[in-house]
Amino acid sequence: MRILIITCYFSFTSLSTVGFGDYYPLSDVERLVGAMILFGGVVIFSQIIGVFNKILNDFIALGADLDDGDNLSKFFGVL
């Protein structure tokens, strides 16, 4: 149980880029697993940012249709 808690603690501190350094991998296998966890975190974070970027671009494109109406209102206001 203690190893599981230390593993979770190490994973969370490493993935959050805090990395206090109080626990660290000692063997080559532990370093490999740690590197795979960090790489997986980068991949998942990149996917989340990609989805967020797509949602943001769709929202901007949705608002672009309304810009024509605003320009038309300004045109008639100037007349």
Domains with residue ranges and CATH for the chain: 2-78 (1.10.287)
Q: What is the model's pLDDT at position 31? A: 83
Average pLDDT of the segment spanning 8-31? 77
Residues 6 or more apart whose CB falls under 8 angstroms from that of 77 comprise none
Average pLDDT value for residue range 56-79? 73
What is the DSSP annotation of 34-69?
A: HHHHHHHHHHHHHHHHHHHHHHHHHHHHHHHHHHHH
Supply the pLDDT for residue 58. Answer: 87
Q: What is the pLDDT of residues 20-66, one digit of tens each?
A: 777 777 888 888 888 888 888 889 889 999 999 999 888 888 766 66
Which range is most confident: 7-11, 47-51, 59-63, 72-76?
Answer: 47-51
Which pLDDT does position 69 carry in this prediction?
A: 64
Residue type, 52: F
Best CA proximity match to 45, nearest among 68, 16, 70: 16
> DSSP assignment, residue 8?
H
